[in-house]
Structure 1
Amino acid sequence: MDNDDLLAPHRPDAAWNCGDCGEPWPCPVFRARLRSLYHGDPEKLTTFMRHFHERAAVDLVDLPPAQIEARFLGWISDPPPRRRLRSI
């Protein structure tokens, strides 16, 4: 799978928002996709996201560096949200 396949849909736009849902990118849908893809290997996920973090830091000059880092890298160590099971 190449990066174009991984990013489509929920690709970032020029302002680093999700082109599909409008959330700040990486959006929750894309984060979930990455967590699934890189399950058990947060170091590879961090390496992958560092590429975007570095590019976004150049574009998002109005945001504090700590906010950019939290947005692109801070969520990686957070456990994924728990899903509630539906009653049958």
Structure 2
Amino acid sequence: MTRRPRPHQPMRPAWLCRNCAAPWPCSAAQLHLATEFYGHSIALAFYLAATMQDAIDDLYSLGLRPDPRALHARFLGWLSLTRRPRRADLR
């Protein structure tokens, strides 16, 4: 029997990937999210901003002092790579 691959979901409150233990969203999670939200980049940005806020809250509850710039780069910094060009940009 073939085993289904485990999804790359966040493990809270540490915000590490349950599958590969990399900081979430790992590259596999980013690919999955970009595919799932294809054509809806604003919705993806809202989702990731909300999860970033959850991560900040969780990390503070662990007694840590998260770096907002690092978390922004981790959660939202890769979004420009998923943007599709507008029609006007293609001309």
TM-score (norm 1): 0.72
1:5-16 alignment, distance < 5 Å: 9-14=7-12, 15-16=14-15
Q: What displacement does 1:39 show?
A: 1.5
User: 1:79, CA displacement in angstroms?
Assistant: 4.6
Report 1 or 2 for greater relative contact order, CA contacts < 8 Å, sequence distance ≥ 6.
2
User: For residue 33 of structure 2, what is the amino acid of its counterpart?
Assistant: L
**8 A Cα contact 1:10 1:20, kept in partner:** yes
Structure 1: give runs of 5+ residues left out of the alignment: 1-7, 81-88
Runs of 4+ in structure 1 over 6 Å off: none
In the aligned structure 1, how far is the partner of 2:35 from the partner of 2:9? 17
Task: Assess, with a 3 A threshold, how the Cα gap between structure 1 residues 66 and 78 changes in structure 2: closer, same or farther.
Answer: same
Q: Does 1:54 align with 2:58?
A: no
CA deviations 1:51-81 (Å, max 9, x no partner) are: 211100112343311111111111111259x
The structure with more strand, counted as a fraction of residues: 2
Query: Is the 2:34–2:82 Cα contact (8 Å) retained in structure 1?
Result: no
Distance 2:80 2:51 in 1: 17
Corresponding residue for residue 64 of structure 1: 67
**Once the 2 structures are TM-superposed, how far is the Cα of residue 50 of structure 1 from its aligned partner?**
1.4
Cα pair 2:8 2:26 within 8 Å, conserved: yes
3-state DSSP of counterpart to 1:25: coil
Which residue is equivalent to 2:40?
Answer: 41
* 1:76 to 2:75 alignment: no
Q: What root-mean-square deviation, in Å, do the aligned CA atoms of Structure 1 and Structure 2 show? A: 1.8
For 2:24, the equivalent position in structure 1 comes to 25
